[in-house]
Amino acid sequence: MTTVVKHAVIHSFTKKAHSNDLVDVTKKQKVLDIDKPAVVALINGVNGLLGKPGNILSYGQFGDNMRQGKFPTAFADFVSPEIKNSVFLNLSHLVVDELVEQALKELLATGGRILVTAYESDSRPFFLVAMIKERGGIVLDDDYVPIEIVEVDLSKVYQAARISITRYKEVIKLPDEVLGPDDVAEDRTYLAFLGQGTHNQASGYFVEALGCTKGIASSRATNNVLKAVTEFFSTPELKPYRSKAKFAVEAYLQRQLDTSSDAVLVDIAHGATSVLQDKQADHVESFKEYLNSDKVKIPAVFAVHAATLKKSTKIKAESKNGWTAQFDRRLLGNTQGADVYFDEGNKSLTFKGLDDNAIEEIQKELTSRNS
C-alpha cells in the first residue's frame, strides 16, 4: 500500500470529563512538513489501521438531518479543482471548531490530538480526521510535529473518519433514487468511521461534528453479505465448504430477523467460517477484513432486510395450472434423493418430507372428491 501525503496538520483541544469546561484549544497556523519520514509514517500507519483485523469500520455519508454544520459545505469547496495549503488549513480549523462545539454537549468527551490530512493511498485520494493518543509508538514535539513513529496501533487511534474523495464526487452527481420495496438500495456511501468495540461505537459528537450519518441501506448490507460468502468461499481450498457457509449465514440472518435483532459482522464471520472446523482460525480474520473492506462495506452492525433475505434464500415456483410453491434454495437438487427434486427432462418438481398437516389436508381433499 503506497501512501502519498498531500497536506497534514495536528491540532488539539482538551475538555474536562463530566463537565462542559473547555481547558484548551490549539489550532496550528501552518501545516506539517510532509517530507518528514515521521509525518508520512504516522499517516501511513493510521490509514493502514482502517478496516484491518482488530477494528471494524462503519460506512456512511454526510447527513440530512438539519445538523450537518459547516463541514460538508467547506469540504465541497476543498475538493474543487484547485487545492491549496491555505484552503486545507482553514478546513482543518473548521474541523476543530465543529469538534469542540459538539464535544461540549458530550459529558464524557475529553478531546485529544486531532490529525487532519489529505493523502493518496494506492493512487486514490482521501481526507482523514483522526483523534490520536500521544503515547507508546506515537511521539510529537511541543509543536505537535511527529518526531518518532515506532508503530501505530488501535489503542493510539480511538476515533477516525475517512472520506473517499473519488467516491464522494461520484455520489454527489447521482440523481435521487426511486426504489420499490424489494429493490436493493444503491450504495451511496463515501465515509468510513473507525470506533471502538465490536459494534464500532464511534463517539456521537465526533460523527455529528463532521455532519455525517452512519449507515448503509439494510437491503444493500444484507445483499452484500450473501454475495460476499459466495465470493470468499470460491477459492479451490474453500469451495467445498461454500454451500454450508452460505446456509450458516442465511440461518443466522433469519434468526436475527425473527428476533428483531441486528446482524453483527463478527458473528457473521464466525458463523460462516465455523464450517471449516479446525481450519477456522486460518480464515476468520481474513473473512472479517473482507466483509468490512471498501469493496463489500459490511458495517459493524446492521438490520436484516427481510425481502432481500427471502429473495436470496427462497424460490417461488408457479405453474400455468394455478399452483404455487415456495422452498429453500438449499433443498433443491437434480437427483431423486433431493428434498425438492427437479426432473429436467419432464420439467417437474417432486417434494419430499411433507409435514403431517399438509398430508392430512391433501388426504381430506382427495377423500372428499371420491365420496
Q: Parse the chain into domains and list their residue ranges.
A: 3-214, 218-309, 314-370
pLDDT score, position 360: 86
> From CA 174, how far away is CA 160, in angstroms rounded?
26
Provide φ and ψ at 78, rounded to 5°. Answer: -65, -40
- Banded pLDDT at 157 (limits 50, 70, 90): low
Instruction: Look up cell 500500500; give the residue.
Output: 1
pTM of the model: 0.76
Question: What is the chain's mean pLDDT, rounded?
Answer: 84
**CA torsion through residues 341, 342, 343, 349, sign:** positive
Q: How far apart are CA 213 and CA 60, in angstroms?
A: 6
Q: pLDDT tens, 240-256?
A: 999 899 999 999 999 99
- Per-residue DSSP letter, 279: G
Higher-scoring residue by pLDDT: 328, 23: 23
For residues 76 and 72, give the distance between their C-alpha atoms in angstroms, rounded to a whole number: 6
DSSP per position, 87-98: HHHHHHHHHHHH
pLDDT surpassing 90 at residue 186: no
pLDDT in tens, 131-149: 887 655 677 888 888 886 7
Residue 1 has pLDDT above 70, yes or no: no
43 alpha carbon, distance to own chain's centre: 21
* Closest among 95, 65, 53, 123 to 293, alpha carbons compared: 53
Residue partners of 190: CB distance under 8 A and separation at least 6: 61, 163, 164, 167, 168, 170, 171
Supply 118's cell numbers: 489529505
Torsion sign (Cα): 123, 145, 98, 153: positive
Strand pairing report for 157-164 and 124-132: antiparallel
pLDDT band (50, 70, 90) for residue 341: confident
* Three-state DSSP string of 208-234: HHCCEEECCCHHHHHHHHHHHHHHHCC
The pairing of beta strand 332-333 with beta strand 111-121? unpaired
250 touches 331 (CB < 8 A): no
Rounded Cα–Cα distance for residues 278 and 187 (Å): 36
Q: Are 253 and 304 in contact (CB under 8 A)?
A: yes
User: Which position has the higher pLDDT, 351 or 280?
Assistant: 280
Would you state the pLDDT for residue 258? Answer: 92
User: Of 317, 308, 138, nearest to 221 (Cα)?
Assistant: 308
